[in-house]
A and B are shown apart, each in its own frame.
Chain A
Amino acid sequence: MANTQQFCTFFLENQFFGVPVQEVQEVIRYQEMTRVPLVPLVIRGLINLRGQIVMAVDLRRRFGMPNRPDSKLPMNVVVRTQDGPVSFLVDEIGDVLELEERTFECPPETLQGAAQDLVRGVYKLENGLMLVLDSERAVCDSENVVQQICSRRSGATN
């Protein structure tokens, strides 16, 4: 019996991503957000998740991808992090996949920019690749100024 792991999958700019299901709290439709001035742009705002206030991180912005067209509303993938739940804004939700560990590979060295930090590895599927998102890293962006410069400047010089 091969080792397998389940992933909650989603799309960002036609790229296929996944987060281990045990990290995911829930997936919800677009929620109205309250923007937070003065914070890095990757934080799109705060949503009310049944009385709990949850920060929404736009993964497109986090990866330095172009903004989503206005007509398209993002979906929320709420993941559990050390500081409580955080919502990732993604384009579309995919299926839950059960993947074998032997199809996993570390990210290629040529990975550029923010992705270098955020992708834990790649699963080779029959009809493409699935990138495993490091959710802790994806939210820790704005923790302190120093870290901020690192990640931001890495994007800037691309």
Chain B
Amino acid sequence: MNDDAAIVKEFLVESYENLDRLDQDLIALEKDPSDRERLASIFRTIHTIKGTSGFLAFNQLEALAHVGESLLARLRDGLLKLNPQITTALLAMVDAVREMLKHIEATGKEGERQDQDLIATLTRLLEAEGRGTMHHGTTEKATDEPEPSKPRPNLGEILVQRGAAKDSDIQSAVEQQQAGDPRHIGEILVERETLKGQDVIDALKAQQQARSQSASDSTIRVDVGQLDRLMNRVGELVLLRNQIVQYANLTEDGELLGTSQRLNLLTTELQEGVMKTRMQPIGNIWSKFPRTVRDVALGCGKQVRIEMEGKETELDKTIIEAIKDPLTHVVRNAVDHGIEPPEARRAVGKNPEGLLSLRAFHEGGQVNIEITDDGAGIDCEKLRNKAIAKALITADQATRMTEREITNLIFLPGLSTAEKVTNVSGRGVGMDVVKTNVEKIGGMVDVQSKPGQGCTIRMKIPLTLAIIPALIVTSAGDRYAIPQVSLLELVRLESEQARKGLEMVNGAPVYRLRGKLLPVVHLNKELQVDVPNDSIAGAQTASSGEGQTVNIVVLRADDRQFGLIVDEINDTEEIVVKPLGKQLKSINAYAGATIMGDGKVALILDVLGLAQRSSVINEIRERAVVESQEKQSTALLGAAQRNPVLLFQHGDAGRIAIDLSLVARLEEIQSDTVEIAADQEVVQYRGQIMPLLHVTEILQSTPRKQVRAEGASLHVVVYMQNGRSVGLVVDRILDIVEEAFVIQPHSGRKGISGSAVIQKRVTDILDVPGLIAAAAEEHSSAALA
């Protein structure tokens, strides 16, 4: 890197930090315009940016900062009074400066910007209002020089201030020092017994604090990539430690045992230390919120005050990054439709200024974040009606739901209680994304609302993602790790109980856990590994050479509980989470992998994914997901639905329905446009190569008729998935129907999720992912036989 680039980089880093502080300072200043120290600090920041950008020949930046500086100078000198317009203009200037810096960072140049309007606005404020208020005059001196920052206090001063030492003692000690004593003042004083050692230590600490506040000479900037690499190495060290400890325990060698104990201790400390370096106070993201709240509140004519508690609560950097957007969304939401307009608040006897409070604290190895507003709360009735109107729940379900469950409906995709869509919220995307994002990092979100009094969104977030405690289980001879956060309890059923304990509800195994039915999932079956032949009945399944005992791991996924039957429960262990490659990520049963003490790899189970695979979580949430993400699910057990479906004929008499939302287009293609690529029938479709699947052929497992009349046309249902399309070739397209029907699931056939009566005829419901899988399976058995 050449010198110039290094200077520019330094300038950028410094300016970004300063700008972030400016946002906060300006908001604070608006609250308390008399805070001269803050005003001076704002002035200094802009002054520095102006000076440096002039030096680096960023002329537009300099010009903009110059106007801002002039305006601030007027404010500082009392020639102008801060008002919302000025604050807004200054904030806009900060944004513009930030954009320019980003541009400089990306391209090294300022780029062509059109800031004349902004500069004009600033100048107008400067002149018009300046003239208007000029005659007020001021007695304070207007200086052009920024105020000098406070010098940092020296140890002697602190000692005197704290009353630990007399001024004269310090004086004489300083004299002794000047006479050539190389020791520190503290040492001299302690030796003379005028001072206790503890006092010096306290004073040193105070000095340290004062220093870190005034200057940053006790901190250094570290590249995050560097920390990540360090973290990885420590992760490896932890694994190595596990291996050595395991080996040492096998031997009788006392010395080795002792050494490994020390290694154990040291590694743990090192691990904690490195983790700490990655920790950041949550205040780092909160600091942007006063600005956000101000902007949103101004935009919708509300008055909102923001309060924060627990700013210093620390979280891992990756987690901070991950919750930044969800938190911002919740905050904007709370202001936009949590808190009422001032008139409405006055009408119900509340303070016209709404209160938004953020609270963060540690609890049980997790961080809790609460965002509370004192607005109107969530209108359950409205929410219920909306959910029914949008067919997210049925009226029947709605009557059975508790208030709390209703409130939690706000996390469903496609649901918003805002009556009008504003540019901030009310578009129906939002809370579901918040929930998904928080759950992605192993957290939980919950909402509580008191009508008329406000609403609280509570998040529970893990401290770190890199190293987590996990329960190790064995299934069909392989070990799997289950993250401890989802673990509720372990149940072990001995011989007699094992046979009786598991009962069946129409083929689905359940266990009575303290009187409540707990759905049970066999891990072996779910992972399709070594399922014994007699596995249809529940009780015998789990026992693969383990006698008659059944081990149930009770897990929590999303607010539901379910039991996972595993062959063996081993132990809990701290594991280092390693990501899986792209190829394996798509399988939602795994959250990652880890290396065990013996050096072998074990997979980490994704509890939520497992629950979804096994349809433990279905009902409301799943259905909403299905509708919004255009995925088809086989879990629509017995619920009436009213989606438009496409009917087509299958074979000679069979009728098949497919959810219309899954269909991108219907096409008729000439059979002679069908080409063969990789021995697969394909057609060129909208610039893509689209594979064709013959539905009849796959469902009946009969080979396709090779002879096809020349010029005949094929009916193709184009199914879109992740931006790629598959063409389903069907015999005849019949109709599009929109009527309520009840799906009766039957699991026997691949590619069919169930049957329903549609247009008074029994119709099979197509399961497209299942169909694709069936097509794939057909091959793999053929190719690998």
A64 CB within 8 Å of chain B: yes
Query: By the criterion CB–CB under 8 Å, are B528 and A37 in contact?
Result: yes
- Total B residues in contact with A, Cβ cutoff 8 Å: 47
What distance in Å separates the Cβ of B219 from its nearest Cβ neighbour in chain A? 31
Contact of B680 among A140, A145, A154 (CB under 8 A): A154
For B778, the chain A residues whose CB sits under 8 A away are 156
Main SS of chain A's interface residues? mixed
What distance in Å separates the Cβ of A113 from its nearest Cβ neighbour in chain B? 7
B581 CB within 8 Å of chain A: yes
CB contacts under 8 Å to B, within A105-158, are 112-113, 116-117, 139-146, 148-158
For A83, the chain B residues whose CB sits under 8 A away are 581-583
CB contacts under 8 Å to A, within B558-590, are 578, 580-584, 586-587, 589-590
User: Taking A46-B593, A53-B595 as contacts, is the C-beta distance between A86 and B600 under 8 angstroms?
Assistant: no
For B529, the chain A residues whose CB sits under 8 A away are 35, 37
Query: By the criterion CB–CB under 8 Å, are B722 and A144 in contact?
Result: yes
B602 CB within 8 Å of chain A: yes
User: Which bracket fits the contact residues of A?
Assistant: 35 or more
Chain B minimum-CB-distance residue to A55: B581
Query: By the criterion CB–CB under 8 Å, are A64 and B601 in contact?
Result: no
B677 CB within 8 Å of chain A: yes
What distance in Å separates the Cβ of B285 from its nearest Cβ neighbour in chain A? 30
A41 CB within 8 Å of chain B: yes
Query: By the criterion CB–CB under 8 Å, are A149 and B593 in contact?
Result: no
Query: By the criterion CB–CB under 8 Å, are B679 and A148 in contact?
Result: no
Query: By the criterion CB–CB under 8 Å, are B679 and A154 in contact?
Result: yes
Contact of B590 among A36, A40, A113 (CB under 8 A): A36
Chain B minimum-CB-distance residue to A54: B581
User: Taking A38-B587, A51-B595 as contacts, is the C-beta distance between A158 and B679 under 8 angstroms?
Assistant: yes
What distance in Å separates the Cβ of B344 from its nearest Cβ neighbour in chain A? 51
For B583, the chain A residues whose CB sits under 8 A away are 39, 43, 55, 83, 139-143
User: Taking A47-B601, A48-B601, A148-B776 as contacts, is the C-beta distance between A143 and B582 under 8 angstroms?
Assistant: yes
Contact of A53 among B580, B582, B693, B721 (CB under 8 A): B580
B724 CB within 8 Å of chain A: yes
Chain B minimum-CB-distance residue to A143: B583
Contact of A155 among B677, B722, B724, B779 (CB under 8 A): B779
CB contacts under 8 Å to A, within B745-785, are 769, 772-773, 775-776, 778-780, 782-784
User: Taking A51-B236, A152-B783 as contacts, is the C-beta distance between A35 and B680 under 8 angstroms?
Assistant: no
For A113, the chain B residues whose CB sits under 8 A away are 679
What distance in Å separates the Cβ of B592 from its nearest Cβ neighbour in chain A? 9
Distance A39 CA – B590 CA, assembled complex (angstroms): 11
Write out, one digit per residue, whether chain B residues 471-483 have a CB within 8 A of any chain A CB (1) or not (0): 0000000100000
Residues of chain A whose beta carbon lies under 8 Å from any beta carbon of chain B:
32-41, 43, 45-48, 51-53, 55, 61, 64, 67, 83-84, 86, 112-113, 116-117, 139-146, 148-158
Residues of chain B whose beta carbon lies under 8 Å from any beta carbon of chain A:
235-236, 239, 478, 527-529, 578, 580-584, 586-587, 589-590, 593, 595, 599-603, 677-680, 682, 691, 693, 721-722, 724-726, 769, 772-773, 775-776, 778-780, 782-784
7 pairs of A and B residues whose beta carbons are closest in the complex = A156-B779, A37-B527, A154-B678, A152-B779, A154-B679, A34-B601, A155-B783
